[in-house]
Structure 1
Amino acid sequence: MSTTESPSVFNNLETLSTAELLAGINSVDQTVPQAVAKALPQIEALVEATVARLVVGGRLFYIGAGTSGRLGILDASECPPTFGVPHGVVIGLIAGGDTAIRKAVENAEDDAEQAWRDLEGYSITAQDIVVGIAASGRTPYVIGGLEQARRHGVATGCIVCNADSGVAAVAEFPVEVVTGPEFVTGSTRLKAGTAQKLVLNMLTTATFIRLGRVKGNKMVDMQLSNAKLVDRGEKMLMDELGIAQPEAAALLRQHGSVRAALVAYND
């Protein structure tokens, strides 16, 4: 049995108080960063492979089902506003299509051919990289997609939460974060989902820092899509250039991004 499906170390959950339930969940959650730390060398290899593809114009695809698929879509959707990269550089695909983002699509994850069809819809090439996300490590949608990607010369990685899984076996750059039994037996939206989110954070953050999308420790390419982000951009300029807020606001309005404003000011 996979460890993510192993029985919870807690029992009789329905008899516990709210305080006891929360303390139990919190206690097992604290093991997740430790599990991620053990996978850092694997995560490093996946980041390096991703940087090598994106620097020459390739794209990063995520494929997954259920919670795993939704996490990939979440990470992909956050890259344009955070790093200013175009939509379509990081793409999340989920078994069952967009309907499955909000509502489970019955048996969609069991179709081993569909992921490659989904990827073909984006004219995938050997410049790209595909990362399968599957807590169990045995999702047919993910395994089939990775197998076909490799047959077509596309780089492959994965994020799984069991050791020695079928998904990891077909990925060139596997990341195995072994999170163990869940608080509620088999509910991988809990610890496994948290671990996957941490790895996804690392993957795209490190990749886009390596690709020059952060200056110092600031998101200088972020999209100024709301008042909060405009305010953040003004503060970045004030800190970096030693100017007052009105001048920073004027620079930002004129040039449209923190990076462009910095370049123009220093020219």
Structure 2
Amino acid sequence: MATEDVSARYQELDAWGDLDILKALYEGQLMAVAAIMPALPAIGAAVAAAVPRLEAGGRLIYAGAGTSGRIGVQDGAELTPTFDWPEERLGFAIAGGDEAILHAVENAEDSVDDGAEAMRNADVGPNDVVIGIAASGRTPFTLAAIAEAKARGALTIGVANNRGSALLHSPDHAVLIETGEEVVAGSTRMKAGTAQKIVLNLFSTLLMIRLGRVYRGLMVHMRTTNAKLRHRAAQMVDMITGCGMDAAARHLDCVGGDVKRAVLLASGADPALAEALLTEHRGNLRHALVALAGGGELQGAAARQAAP
């Protein structure tokens, strides 16, 4: 198993000078990043398959053990503040439970029963997307979670760092990141973990873009929960529409801080039409603005929906 192999190059690592050790660790991180390029098509395919499930109201669930489970939590926890992804549509199945986020829970990753039970307890169904992460690709907890989720009709995605591993064969979609042996043999929190985190960053960000939560590179679906974010929201409305910061702030106040609706108001829609346009276009601001600017059938349908 490549992630457990011992590299002859590093067998005297502890006798090296500090700078040489740091250079070796740094090179390992660069190798981890380089290993992601071949996986991009697989990541894209997984996103394309996930979008319809989530558009239908499904949940995004991360499953893993140890470092891989914690990396899943890191990625998923950012989706709510960044993209206003509903917390009730986000789930985590971690071997050992919540305690394992901060502390190692011995033998938890070996429990097949716990992995399957986590999916049953979450009542996973056909609209859900379950992404399992394991450097080895053979962690029993994660494999069991994926198997149970697939049996229940969910879309399943596996992310692993070893070619030919079970986690790359059992899910609907597989993402292989061949990071090879670690500088410190078997310490998969390093190269493997870095690559996993980047892959999840790419996956979840593309997913949120395709779900209409990004427009022109801006986080137009973010939560405006503090003064800094309210100012950022006004800047976005002004940047998109050119209405000026004062007008942007007024429009945001009218719609409870919702950037997309404020943009549509600043572009000439009234609140009812803005709501109808976003509903018709599944929250996609680009499509809503095209309909608003172009009139015709798209805007007419939204206007009819907005009419009392």
If the TM-score is normalised by the length of the shorter chain, which range does it land in?
over 0.9
Q: Compute the displacement of 1:116 (Å).
A: 2.0
Matches within 5 A, 1:13-162: 13-162=13-162
- Secondary structure (helix, strand or coil) at the match of 1:61 reads strand
Q: Compute the displacement of 1:145 (Å).
A: 1.2
Q: Compute the displacement of 1:120 (Å).
A: 1.9
Q: Is the 8 A contact 1:72 1:93 kept in 2?
A: no
Q: Match for 1:263: what amino acid?
A: L
Work out the CA distance in 2 between the residues paired with 1:22 and 1:235: 41
Per the normalisation by structure 2, the TM-score is: 0.82
Work out the CA distance in 1 between the residues paired with 2:207 and 2:224: 21
Work out the CA distance in 2 between the residues paired with 1:162 and 1:198: 17
Equivalent residue for 1:7? 6
Q: Match for 2:266: what amino acid?
A: Y
Work out the CA distance in 2 between the residues paired with 1:199 and 1:245: 36
Q: Match for 1:106: what amino acid?
A: E
Work out the CA distance in 2 between the residues paired with 1:16 and 1:247: 61
Q: Compute the displacement of 1:18 (Å).
A: 2.5
Matches within 5 A, 1:223-242: 223-242=223-242
Equivalent residue for 2:261? 260
RMSD: 1.5
Work out the CA distance in 1 between the residues paired with 2:6 and 2:266: 60
Post-superposition Cα deviations, 1:21-72, rounded to whole Å, max 9, x if no partner, equal: 2211111211222211111221122111111211111112111001100111
Q: Match for 2:2: what amino acid?
A: T
Equivalent residue for 1:196? 196
Work out the CA distance in 2 between the residues paired with 1:114 and 1:227: 43
Q: Match for 1:7: what amino acid?
A: V
Q: Compute the displacement of 1:207 (Å).
A: 1.1
Work out the CA distance in 2 between the residues paired with 1:219 and 1:105: 37
- The more displaced of 159-168 and 42-51 is 42-51
- The more displaced of 69-78 and 227-236 is 227-236
Q: Is the 8 A contact 2:243 2:266 kept in 1?
A: no
- Judging changes above 3 Å, is the alpha-carbon distance between structure 1 residues 232 and 11 closer, same or farther for their aligned structure 2 residues? farther
Higher relative contact order (CA 8 A, sep 6+): 1
Work out the CA distance in 2 between the residues paired with 1:18 and 1:25: 11
Work out the CA distance in 2 between the residues paired with 1:261 and 1:166: 48
Identity of aligned residues (%): 40
Q: Is the 8 A contact 2:124 2:152 kept in 1?
A: no
Work out the CA distance in 1 between the residues paired with 2:36 and 2:170: 21
Tell me the matched-pair count.
Answer: 266
Q: Compute the displacement of 1:178 (Å).
A: 0.7
Q: Match for 2:6: what amino acid?
A: P
Q: Compute the displacement of 1:110 (Å).
A: 0.5
- The more displaced of 81-90 and 174-183 is 81-90
Q: Compute the displacement of 1:86 (Å).
A: 0.8
Greater Cα radius of gyration, structure 1 or 2: 2
Structure 2 unpaired stretches of 5+: 270-308
The yes-or-no answer on 1:247 pairing with 2:247 is yes
Q: Compute the displacement of 1:223 (Å).
A: 0.7
Q: Compute the displacement of 1:203 (Å).
A: 1.1
Q: Match for 2:264: what amino acid?
A: V
- Secondary structure (helix, strand or coil) at the match of 1:30 reads helix
Work out the CA distance in 1 between the residues paired with 2:102 and 2:250: 41
Q: Is the 8 A contact 2:156 2:171 kept in 1?
A: yes
- Secondary structure (helix, strand or coil) at the match of 2:105 reads coil
Structure 1 unpaired stretches of 5+: none
- Moved segments of 4+, more than 6 Å: none
Q: Is the 8 A contact 1:73 1:93 kept in 2?
A: no
